[in-house]
Structure formats: structure tokens, C-alpha cells
Structure 1
């Protein structure tokens, strides 16, 4: 009687599946975790205490992470955290469904990117279709991040890689190292992203975006060391509220190219370790929007020098002023390729760039008044002051297509400078050891001969 009653009680409270060995139960649950039910582990865990125990103690059941753009970013991030924790220490598969918007690729994947060494398989469906097997060589790093900002109607046009094949989201640069490529019509903002660990970001703008959106994205990149921004020449943002300040404590290299937002970008980043600044193709012959509230330095250039790009000269100079005042970075390299400033901005910068070793400028309208700033001088504060030079650590100077400079000024300034810095131990070798001058119309043959007598093999002249 006791045995019969126990059997009857058990049959009323247990399902036949409960009698299966735990190993078989796990296999069944693993089979249930497919993309047709991405939240299956949570559903299974709610059936009974036994099932919950099996689900929570079995990493294999959590190895498939399915994210889609129909869920909120917050819930997707929570799901990613739970699945990666529960599947530990196993590798996992990632599937991304972006049927609605490809701009969410980076926000959805951001919590998983620090764990790339555990990714086994990646696939995407919806706006883009791709898949990649990572099981043979699990990547340890994803760097750089390449962002192409496109018109929404152009997002699905495939970019071709070096071999003429569509470029996938992840491309292999070397074993265990991936590059991430994304295409968006607008940049995600920092609140939608788990802080990104990229040390290098390459961003290309082919539709108008405002500097504000770039800055709001950079808030999510605290480990950034190199930023390459290629813009599209359109009017800078007319500010109705102050721009946010993006703090980039580790940024060492900054490239800004082909944009009219130079002033806004340079004025709104904090880069205390910046050592290289490359400015390229920023000169424009049209007028840029002026700020609503001018600051010190916004007045017209007292030098009255000629300029073919007066508005962009002012924007570039004011942006650099703001960057130097905020961050006081130890710049060693300043390259200005078809990028120019006013005379007053060169004077301001040269007075503050005490660590600069390399200065290159091409297609500048700078006058003799700028090159004269490199001549040794005695401060006017009183007698007994020793001779000084601006840019005291300058070792490499390259001038290209600077046609407003005269040969007489170049010969006089450079000759006097090297005579001083070559002969004084106080400069500890920080003298010009390379001078390259090319396509500067004011430098004639006799000027070159005079310079060569002073500089010797340090001088290179190019036609």
C-alpha cells in the first residue's frame, strides 16, 4: 500500500521528462536554444526548480547569443551580460538581426566586443547578410574601428575589400587580430554604447554630419589613442548650445581632413597627451559660419596678410588655440597640408609648442612675418635677457608651395637660427637637422646656395 501510494503521488507531480538523466536534459535544452527563440534559456528556467537548476548550471545552454534591433538597447545589453556570464568559460556564437536599422550594429555588439577571444561564430541577417567562423583562431583584439557615414539609401551598397569581395563587418588584419567595419547614416551616442576599447578609429563622412554628433560618439571611446577623421566640406554647425567636451586622455595622434568643422572639433576635445596633429585639406575659399559668441583671438588679424582662404584660416587657428589652451598637449609633430592659419595664430601656437620637433606646412599663404617668428630673439623685458628661439626643440622643418615667403627671409632666419642652436650646448642637440623646401617661388637659385653654405647636407631643395 505504501509503495502504491508513493507511485501515485509521484505520477501526479512529475512529467516523464523529469526522469531523464541530466545529461539528456541538457542536450534537449541546448537544441531548444536557437534563433527562433533567443530567450529560450530564460523560458526553460521558469518551468520548474529542477529545470532552473539545470539551466543555470549548464554553460552550453547559454552559448547562442541572439540580438536584434527590435529590442531596446538596454534589454539587449542586459541579455548580453547574462549570456556571457552564464556561458563562461565556454566560447559562444553571436547572431545579429538588423532588419530595422544597421546603425544599431555597434550599440548591440558593444558589450560583446571586449570578449572577442570567446567568439566562436558570428552571423548577421537583415540589412546585411554575412557570417564568419572564428573557431580556428579566436581573435584577441579588435582594432581599429572603421566607420563610414553614408546616406541611408546607400547603406546596403557593399564596400569592396582588397580582393574585390564585399567587405564584412570583421576583417582579419593578422592572426588573432580583427578590424571592425560599420556603415551608418548617423553616429550612435555614448549612452547607447558600452564603453568601447578601440585604440584606433577611422571615420569617414560622405554625408553632412555635425561635429556635435562626432563628439557625443567620442564620449564612449576613453581608450582612444589615434583618431582619423575625414569629413565632407559643408557649413559648420550653427551653435544654439555649447558643444560637449570629449575627454580623450590617451589620444596621441589626431588626423583631421577635408572638413569645415575643424574649429568645433579642435575646440571641444581634451587631449592632454596629444603628440601628433595632422591637418589636411581644410582650406576653403568660401565663408564659414562665424560663432555666435566670439572669444579672445576672434578679432581680425592685425598683420593684414594676404590669404586665399581667410575664413578657414581663422577657423583652423581658433580651433588650435582652444586645443592648446585647454589641454597644453606635448605636441611633437604638426603637419598642415593645404591647411593654414592667420599670422596671429601662428604666433600664438609657436609660443606654446615648446616640445614640437617636426613642422610641415604645404600650400600656405603665410608671409615673411610668420617665418620671422623662428628667428632668434631677445625678450623685451629688460637688459641681461639671453637670446631665445620659439619652437626650441624643432629639428625638422618642411615648407612646400609657400609662395608668399621671400628667399631673403628664409635665408636670414634659418641661417641665424642654426648658427645659434648649433653653437650653444644649452640646446642639447635640439637644432635643425633637416630642412626641406619645395616649390616655394620666392626661393631662387642664389638663395639656395646661401642656405646650403649654412646648412650643408641638412638642406634639401625640391623643384
Structure 2
């Protein structure tokens, strides 16, 4: 042993701090564990066997978790995992220092989000300053996740809470329930995220974001039950490689609004439990880019029906086709608000939506050929079963609004014939129309309404 080593050993053996009781050492170590030295517990544990034992056996020393965007995501995740394990079962404080990119807020926090019931205090520094004391009511759940994809210049604002500007990362919706708000200029990708456990995500696009980025993000959300996406109309991406498939086994509600990427999104989501699909403001009067490799159904609409939004009709219809073929979801609700399809796509969908109960469509250019699909029919000769059938056999609620290409005669004939069949036979008991709402359909005149009321009675509601 050298003189230096002997001197250091002697000093260690007789250092006064080594005579302090463990309780005092713990208090000293807690003071050392501040944001100025976020790795203090690891440093202290290397000093001696005694200190290592004290640090590793004291959850209070590990209650302060400090993360920043200057470390790699992998090391930050390892850091968070170690601190949460060592501090168990105590609550802990989280401080996030983000000075480079707000895109990293969610990746840095993702391993800690499942443990929100242990968060005591949260603070952020760097590009934004905020803090929230959670000690009074520890959150049981963080849901939904609200994501706004915003221009980078607007992310620098200091005026939080203003309409259109960043809100605090966590806001309280109700006791023990938080909403998480993330404002980014681009979505984080799945490889930098610990799988997210949000059941609801609300995403708003204020700058161009391609469907690929949205799908890649959704791949990290396997427990998602409801997804609400509001975009804005910009050119879809030119595909040079296949889009990723977002497998969402628990997704039950999907809202897609105001985007030109409808086909890409619907075609690349696998949602075998989807029960509600809401499509809104997807119609556009300009031509969308064609897919690189056309598939079955991409041909022109053989019905040659008039359309003010021919290109988006095709995109919406082809997206819905792909969703139905891949997932065969048990859709009960289909809402199409200023969203339309070709006649051939309605025919394709109606043949596969065997449990649909509610169908709403507004501002459609669909013709009588579409409403005719709801008329009872007998399958083509040659099959063994030639009984009368109806498409959408469980349809209970039908709402048509501002569908001005429909004629009153077709509406009266089809709906009257349908309810006579489904009302009159025991086999259809419970599976007949319970509500029909028709509003602002120019082809439906007063006498048509009177004829329909004779058949439907109080089930019919007419609105001007």
C-alpha cells in the first residue's frame, strides 16, 4: 500500500462524519440531492460501503427526480426507472429542464406517467417555467392527453393560457384527475417513448403534419380507446414507402376532422373493436394526390353520380374500405358531417356494417342510388337463401341533413317499404327504424313528409 493510500484510508477510518448515526447521514444526503446535482445519490453511494448501504436503503434520498433534454433519452429513462424503484413506496418530485426542444417533454416524462399517483410536485424550467403542487390530492389518472402541433415561434410565448397559446403541462379536470397538455412543433416518434397508457388523445394540427408522423406516434399508444384528430387542409405526403400500421386493439371511438390525410389514416389503423367513427369537414373541391399503387375500388364511380367533392369522396371511401377490410370493426355509429363517399363506397360499406345502429350524414351529394341501398331486396338468383333482406339490418337511427340530390319520391318509397318489412315480421323485432330525422333536404316536399309520416308516425322528425 502506498503512503497516499494509507493516508486516505486512515483519514476515512477516523473521519468524524463516519461516526454520525445513519439518521443524520440520511438528512445530509437528502440535502445533497438537489437539482444542482441530480445524480447525487449515485455519487454518494461510491464513497464507501457504509454510505452505499445508507443510500440504497433510504427511499427519501431518491425522491427528487431531475431530467433534462441534454442527456440521451435512453439514459433519462434509465435514470427515471432507478429513482422510482429506489424511492418506492414514497411519493416523489419531478423537475424537467427543457432548454432545447419541447418535442422531448413527452418522451422524458413517459416512464413516469404510469406512476402519477406517486407524484408530489412537478416543475419545469428552460423554454417554459411552470410548477404544480400535487401533494394535496395525488392524481389517480392522467387523461386525456391533449397535443397541439404548433408553429415553433408560438411555442416560445410567455403568455400561457391564452387562446391558441400553450397551457400548463398538467391541468386539473376534477379531483384526482389531470389533463396533460403537450405543445410541440413535431410529434415524438415511438422509439423514444415508453408505451403510453392514455385512453383518450385529442390532437390538433396547426402546422402541416403528415399522416406518417401521426401513425408512428399512435404506435406507442396500445391502450388508446378514443382518438380525436383535427387537422387542416394541406397536401398529403407523397408515399415512397408503406405507411406504418397503428394497431389499436382497444380503440372504440375515432374522430377525424378537417384533413386531407383521411385515406392514409383510415387505411393504416387497425382497430378491431371500433364502434364509433365520426368523420367531419373532409370534403374539398380540389384534387387530392393519387396513391402510388391503386388498389381494388380505386376505379371511377360506375354510378357517375354528381359530386362537388369528387376527389375527397374517393379518398374517404377508399380509407373506409381499407379500415373495414383490415379490422372488420363492430361499428354501431357512423357520422359523416360534410364528409362524403362515392356510391360504390356506400354500397361496399353498407354490405359490411351488419351491426350499425346510427347513421348520420350531412351535406352529401349522394343520389337516390345510395338511398335505394336501404330498400329490402332479394339476393340474386342462384343462391340457396332467397329470403328478403335489408342492408344495415340493425339500423335504428337515420339522419339526413342537407342532402339535396335525394328525391322525395325515393325517400318515401325506400323508407316506407323498409319499415313495413321490419315492423311486420317477428324476425325483425327490435331491429327496425326507431328514429328518422330529415332536415334541409330540398327534394323532400311537404306532401312527401305527409306520406312518410303515415308510415313512420312519431318516429319521423322533419326540420327546415
Q: TM-score range by the shorter chain?
A: over 0.9
Structure 1 residue 10: Cα displacement:
5.7
- Bigger CA drift: 139-148 or 15-24? 15-24
Structure 1 residue 16: Cα displacement:
1.7
85 and 289 in structure 1: CA distance in 2 versus 1, 3 angstrom threshold = same
Given that 2:155 and 2:166 are in contact with CA atoms closer than 8 Å, whether structure 1 keeps it comes out as no
Matched, 1:457 2:442: no
Aligned position for 1:205? 205
Structure 1 residue 428: Cα displacement:
2.5
Aligned position for 2:390? 389
Aligned position for 1:320? 320
Aligned position for 1:4? none
- Aligned to 1:237, what secondary structure does the other structure show? coil
Structure 2 regions of 5+ residues with no counterpart?
1-7
Aligned position for 1:94? 94
- TM-score, length-normalised on structure 2? 0.96
Write the distance in 1 (CA, Å) between the matches of 2:42 and 2:340. Answer: 60
- Aligned to 2:156, what secondary structure does the other structure show? coil
Write the distance in 2 (CA, Å) between the matches of 1:381 and 1:115. Answer: 62
Structure 1 residue 48: Cα displacement:
1.0
Number of residues of Structure 1 aligned to a counterpart in Structure 2? 455
- Aligned to 2:321, what secondary structure does the other structure show? helix
441 and 426 in structure 1: CA distance in 2 versus 1, 3 angstrom threshold = same
CA deviations 1:262-306 (Å, max 9, x no partner) are: 000000010000000000000000100000100000000000000
Aligned position for 1:438? 439
Aligned position for 1:3? none
- Aligned to 1:106, what secondary structure does the other structure show? helix
- Aligned to 1:418, what secondary structure does the other structure show? helix
- Aligned to 2:372, what secondary structure does the other structure show? helix
CA deviations 1:108-136 (Å, max 9, x no partner) are: 00000000000000000011110000000
Aligned position for 1:362? 362
CA deviations 1:175-210 (Å, max 9, x no partner) are: 111000000011011110111110000000000000
Aligned position for 2:403? 402
Aligned position for 1:249? 249
Structure 1 residue 13: Cα displacement:
3.2
Given that 2:423 and 2:429 are in contact with CA atoms closer than 8 Å, whether structure 1 keeps it comes out as no
Structure 1 residue 426: Cα displacement:
1.0
Write the distance in 2 (CA, Å) between the matches of 1:398 and 1:40. Answer: 64
Calculate the aligned-residue CA RMSD, in Å.
Answer: 1.5
Structure 1 residue 354: Cα displacement:
0.2
Write the distance in 2 (CA, Å) between the matches of 1:106 and 1:358. Answer: 37
1:45-194 equivalences in 2 (<5 Å):
45-157=45-157, 158-160=159-161, 167-194=167-194
Structure 1 residue 425: Cα displacement:
1.1
Write the distance in 2 (CA, Å) between the matches of 1:299 and 1:390. Answer: 24
Aligned position for 2:295? 295
- Aligned to 1:155, what secondary structure does the other structure show? helix
Aligned position for 2:3? none
Q: Which runs of 4+ in 1 moved over 6 A?
A: none
Structure 1 residue 427: Cα displacement:
1.4
Given that 2:63 and 2:90 are in contact with CA atoms closer than 8 Å, whether structure 1 keeps it comes out as yes
12 and 313 in structure 1: CA distance in 2 versus 1, 3 angstrom threshold = closer
323 and 12 in structure 1: CA distance in 2 versus 1, 3 angstrom threshold = closer
43 and 408 in structure 1: CA distance in 2 versus 1, 3 angstrom threshold = same
Matched, 1:416 2:417: yes
Given that 2:155 and 2:165 are in contact with CA atoms closer than 8 Å, whether structure 1 keeps it comes out as no
Write the distance in 1 (CA, Å) between the matches of 2:232 and 2:322. Answer: 22
Structure 1 regions of 5+ residues with no counterpart?
1-7
Given that 2:216 and 2:246 are in contact with CA atoms closer than 8 Å, whether structure 1 keeps it comes out as yes
Write the distance in 2 (CA, Å) between the matches of 1:9 and 1:144. Answer: 56
Given that 2:166 and 2:183 are in contact with CA atoms closer than 8 Å, whether structure 1 keeps it comes out as no
Write the distance in 2 (CA, Å) between the matches of 1:255 and 1:435. Answer: 23
Write the distance in 1 (CA, Å) between the matches of 2:440 and 2:98. Answer: 52
Write the distance in 2 (CA, Å) between the matches of 1:161 and 1:430. Answer: 49
Write the distance in 1 (CA, Å) between the matches of 2:381 and 2:168. Answer: 63
- Bigger CA drift: 198-207 or 45-54? 45-54
116 and 407 in structure 1: CA distance in 2 versus 1, 3 angstrom threshold = same
Structure 1 residue 160: Cα displacement:
2.2
- Aligned to 2:79, what secondary structure does the other structure show? helix
Structure 1 residue 237: Cα displacement:
1.3
